Amino acid sequence: MATRGKITIRTLLARKREGERFSMLTCYDYSTARLIEAAGIDSILVGDTYGEVCLGYGSTLPVTLDHLVTVTAGVRRGAPTAYLVGDMPFLSYQVSIEEAIRSAGKFMVEGGCDCVKAEVDRRHLPTVEAMSAASIPVMAHLGLRPQAVNQIGGYLAQGKKASEAKRIIEDAKMMEDAGAVALLLEAVPTEVAGVIAESTALPVIGCVSGPRCDGQVVVLHDMLGYSAGHPPRSIKPYANLHDQLIEAFQAYAADVAQGAFPLAEKSISLDADQWRELSRQLAPHKRTTE
Ligand code: KIV
């Protein structure tokens, strides 16, 4: 496969200008990152969904900065050219602007990402502005903000009423003016996503927000049919790893039970001389009687 150059924000901006859609997947480990890179996916998000799909939490809230920075560094080692986005966990940027800059800086320096993503609305403008002034590229995540699940009362679509939709459209413009380098829209109506994507120069990535965005992101486990729960209804399964992996695990257990794995001829063995020598050394010491 031909090697490609580094994907940067300029690449994504050019794609948008030329009307070429781009793809993003979430990823949480080095080995999978290598496959995603080999497949030519443009961008990777080390999302805080890591907490749900890899750690088994019921929400993204318990994920820590240290968790995600370590994971991000591993993903970067596997995917050196993808546009890598680190997802700022709950309370890593809400407490103070100073803490937000430190958290984002850790992602950039230790995680090796190209950009950080933060779940925001207009109340976070000073934070986005300050991070941008500190030369930290920010992807503003608008619409459904899963870190606010307890305030919202569930993972509900946002912007379904005209007044709410207008607010999200205004927030998008404010984020652009505050220096965000890209927007991510989660669970907003197609029409709202279309208005935003068509009125900004920034690349707009959609997550369950319809086909009018410049790029799309999906949670890897959902598109692979690997998730424990039910993926969003708009997700198209590209594999059925859930069933395939269970079959593989069952086949392995059956082989072990029947002695079909491991095979002696594929195992490590002593050469004949060493086996003779070992047998001699292990033979019971013969007592010589007088
Ligand atoms: O954490 C994540 O995976 C995300 C996507 C759902 C956009 O934020």
Nearest-atom index, ligand 1, CA of 48:
1
Question: pLDDT per residue over 39-98, tens digit each?
Answer: 999 999 999 999 999 999 999 999 999 999 999 999 999 999 999 999 999 999 999 999
Distance CA 13, CA 19 (A): 10
In this prediction the pTM is 0.94
Q: Contact at 8 Å (CB) between 38 and 58? A: no
Question: pLDDT per residue over 114-160, tens digit each?
Answer: 999 999 999 999 999 999 999 999 999 999 999 999 999 999 999 99
Nearest to 103 by CA among 114, 89, 113: 89
Closest residue to atom 2 of ligand 1, CA basis: 47
> What's the CA-to-centroid distance between 289 and ligand 1, angstroms?
80
Q: How many helices (H) and strands (E) does the chain have?
A: 12, 8
- CATH T-level fold of 9-218: TIM Barrel (3.20.20)
Nearest to 224 by CA among 246, 241, 245, 205: 241
Cα dihedral angle (99, 10, 195, 149), rounded to 10 degrees?
-30
Q: Contact at 8 Å (CB) between 229 and 219? A: no
Which regions of the chain carry the CATH code 3.20.20.60? 9-218
**pLDDT over 90 percentage in the chain:** 93
Collapsed DSSP state (helix, strand, coil) of residue 55: coil
Determine whether the shortest distance from the Cβ of 207 to ligand 1 is under 6 A: yes
Question: pLDDT per residue over 192-205, tens digit each?
Answer: 999 999 999 999 99
Cα dihedral angle (249, 251, 257, 263), rounded to 10 degrees?
-110
Q: What are the tokens at 171?
A: 């927030």
Does the annotation mark 176 as catalytic? Answer: no
